[in-house]
Amino acid sequence: MVKSSIDRQIQPRRDNPVEWHLIDNLAPYESTLQKMEETVGQIHKAQRNEQIWLLEHPPLYTAGTSARTDDLLTPARFPVYLVGRGGQYTYHGPGQRICYVLLDLNKRGKDVRKLVHDLERWIIKTLGAFGVKGEIREGLVGVWVARPDKPKVNGQVCQDKIAAIGIRLRRWVSFHGLSLNVNPTLEHYSGIVPCGIASKQSGLGITSLHDLGINASIQDVDEALQKAFVEVFG
């Protein structure tokens, strides 16, 4: 898949016909994106099966279609990539499980809203395997957790984002996907206003499983992702 990394196809579950690919090492962003776009075309032509890619990227920022220039606070800190997915600025880096979702909505129903909802449910079920209650917040994209352990802001319980979602479609085949924070360096988010979150003013922040006291490994998360995927997507 990406020549500078090791692509290993995970043995699929009997109840999950979608191909799962694990990319070891840190996958370079540009070549990974290029290969993903090629694979989307192949899936559309029925030359490849639907796929889920599991990987980590080196530290970088990406800007979605709604990104504002002012939200890039330290542009020289990490490489910045303009991408066609939905959303604003986000961070990718080691300790974060990236799931690129290459699904054919021609076969699954051409419903983008349902796809995003199912991705949210997928993350929430995965978090549930570790005793973490993931939730959706009205007007906010991604999956969040309440932080009653933090001081309230304006009398409200703080909310921290643990997973981001950004999807793009080409001929009704999805690509890009989601990122779930397992144990990334959370300080790296300080170079951007992540997903439009102004933490100090709004009581919204960023968290991870390890930040919540859950010392799960990337491999633990991968197993939970595979199981939850079948429960949500069939």
Q: Which residues pair with 19 in a beta bridge?
A: 51
What domains, with CATH codes, occur in the chain? 6-233 (3.30.930.10)
- List pLDDT tens digits, range 47-71: 999 999 999 999 999 988 888 888 8
Separation CA 95–CA 162 (nearest Å): 12
Q: Which residues are part of the catalytic machinery?
A: 195
**Helix, strand or coil, per DSSP, at residue 105:** helix
pLDDT at 91: 95
Task: Please write the tens of the pLDDT for every residue from 142-200.
Answer: 999 999 999 998 898 999 999 999 999 999 999 999 999 999 999 999 999 876 565 55
Q: What is the pLDDT of residue 31?
A: 95
Which amino acid is located at 111 in the chain? D
pLDDT of residue 5: 46
- Checking if the pLDDT of 90 tops 50, the result is yes
Q: Collect all residues with Cβ–Cβ distance below 8 Å to 39 and sequence separation of at least 6.
A: 1, 48, 51, 102, 175
| 122 compared with 9, residue with greater pLDDT | 122
Q: Are strands 80-82 and 60-63 parallel, antiparallel or unpaired?
A: parallel
Closest by CA to 21, choosing from 69, 54, 43, is 54
Calculate mean pLDDT across residues 18-23.
93
